[in-house]
Amino acid sequence: MFVDEAKIEVKAGDGGDGLVSLRREKHLAKGGPDGGDGGRGGDVVAVADPHLSTLVDLAYCRHYRAGDGERGGPNRRRGKNGTDVEIRLPVGTVIRDLAGQRVIADFHRPGRRVVLARGGRGGRGNARFATPTRQTPRFAERGEPGETRRLALELKLLADVGIIGLPNVGKSTLIARVSAARPKIADYPFTTLVPNLGVVRLQEGVGFVIADLPGLVEGAHRGAGRGHSFLRHAERTRLLIHVLDVGAPESDPCWDFLAVNRELALYREGLARLPQLVALNKIDLCPPEERLAEIESFLRDGGYEVFRISALTGQGVALVMARAAQLLAELPPASREQASAEAEPAAAGSEPLGGEPFGFAQGRLRLRVVRLEDGNYQVAGTEVERAVAMTDLENEEAVLHLHRRLERMGVIRRLRELGAKEGDRVRIGAVELNFVD
């Protein structure tokens, strides 16, 4: 079963909590704090596997979660790290974040590894908070929550040559003739519902990968018919073989040729600029010579190389394949890396939150403080949100430590400047706190 689209949710492991522990031994008068740190949560990692050719596994398993880190132990023992989860994907898969619609990764080569969701940091045990003035801290950090993401995956076949054309022009017959691929072949349109890959072997050491792509109809760039399935896979090719049906008296191959190229250009301008060889198929049906000459003249005036073939009998097919191999040797390698600048992640806290904004930078921190319409406040920023999430808010000593951290970050001062008073509600991440000056 060929599946080239899937949506999944990934959840990295949460960090383990730090431990509150005081060392007690029979002959040790002042043991002191010895709580260990929690282990780090596991990552969710995607790996490009050259042995896979479909996303069918992800269509049935949509949720992936890595292991949580273990809690720290006494005697400053660190908790065990959570186990990573690997998702194996076929080469050619593009991963997009559904929240921001930005491309996370483009698996254009085998073996590439990308972390889709990072595990949370382990919380620090109370031994890490001991100071000369606070010798027996009775609090520890909670583990940091792991990242959660909803992702869209698209498979774009990695083929050197793509066979394009309207439905039922003989594309499947052609790929079956030149390779070991065995697509479904019938005398009705849209026989090919999914792309088929084959390998063309011309001679020792000379060959290329060819793809038979689902047929186009008008409006394919908007998704009509199998439009997006066709066009998405055509993006990866370096050369196109455009098949036209010259055997049907009622068809207009010149108009068909223009219609297909129009859809290519409307979907992505670069597709229409790919080199094309034009194959006039079904000459075994003996179309009139005058008609063939007129079609060839029209295409050659446009700068295209034209071949007369019969995919059914094999006539002229070897010439097209030989020319395709020659052109591929002359063309530069395809750039299959998705542009990393397509959509860069926004800086933490930089998105508008509503209300009156007050953004500032404190050292290397990027923070944003907002007075909301209801008179309360919101603070955004990666570091400050992490600090709150890792604080045990039921432990008074831990809350006091958090307050001192917020003062050092400049959050308390900024809230004061915006007019915050005792008891006002301040939202930081998913937590609401009362302002204390």
Q: Is the pLDDT assigned to residue 124 strictly greater than 90?
A: yes
pLDDT band at residue 232 using 50, 70 and 90 as cut-offs: low
Q: Is the pLDDT of residue 297 over 90?
A: yes
Q: Per mean pLDDT, which of 217-221, 230-234, 318-322 is the most reliable?
A: 318-322
Locate tokens 């979660």: which residue?
65
User: What is the predicted pLDDT for the residue at 28?
Assistant: 66
Mean pLDDT for the stretch of residues 234-239: 80
- Of 103-107, 243-247, 287-291, the least confident: 103-107
10 SS3 class: strand
Which pairs with CB-CB distance under 8 Å and at least 24 residues apart come from 194-200? Answer: 194/2, 194/4, 194/229, 195/2, 195/4, 195/157, 195/229, 195/230, 195/233, 196/172, 197/53, 197/157, 197/159, 200/161, 200/321, 200/324, 200/325
Q: Name the burial class of residue 435, with classes exposed (0-12), middle (13-18) and buried (19+) by CB atoms within 10 angstroms of its CB.
A: middle
Question: Is the separation of the CB atoms in 150 and 98 below 8 Å?
Answer: yes
Q: Does residue 186 carry a pLDDT above 60?
A: no
* Greater model confidence, 59 or 431: 431
Number of H helices, E strands in the chain: 10, 19
Domains and their CATH numbers in the chain: 5-155 (2.70.210.12), 161-330 (3.40.50.300), 356-434 (3.30.300.350)
Read off the pLDDT band of 66 (50, 70, 90): very high
C-alpha span between 337 and 340 (Å, rounded)? 8
Q: Containing H/E element for 15?
A: none
Judged by average pLDDT, the poorest of 7-11, 63-67, 103-107 is 103-107
Q: Give 17-33 as a DSSP string.
A: PP---B--BTTBS---B
pLDDT at position 195, please? 64
Q: What's the pLDDT tens digit per position in 155-177?
A: 877 678 988 888 888 888 898 88
The mean pLDDT value for 245-265 works out to: 88
Is the model's pLDDT at 321 over the cut of 60?
yes
Comparison of pLDDT for 370 and 31, the residue scoring more? 370
pLDDT at 291 over 90: yes
Across all residues in the chain, what is the average pLDDT?
82
Percentage of the chain modeled with pLDDT above 90: 47
pLDDT of 220 above 50 = no
Separation in Å, CA 160 to CA 196, 264, 289: 13, 17, 33
Q: Residues 309-328: what's their mean pLDDT?
A: 93
- Please indicate whether residue 400 or residue 57 has the higher confidence score (pLDDT): 400
Q: For the ranges 216-220, 289-293, 294-298, 365-369, which has the lowest average pLDDT?
A: 216-220
The predicted structure's pLDDT at residue 10 = 96
Q: What is the pLDDT of residue 171?
A: 86
Residue-level pLDDT at 377: 93
Query: Rounded to whole angstroms, what are the CA distances from 408 to 100, 413, 414?
Result: 32, 9, 11
- At residue 204, the pLDDT reads 60
Distance CA 386, CA 392 (A): 12
Mean pLDDT of 215-233: 50
How many angstroms separate the CA atoms of 40 and 67, rounded?
A: 9
- Please give the pLDDT value at position 357: 47
- Give the pTM: 0.68
- Mean pLDDT of all residues in 55-78: 92
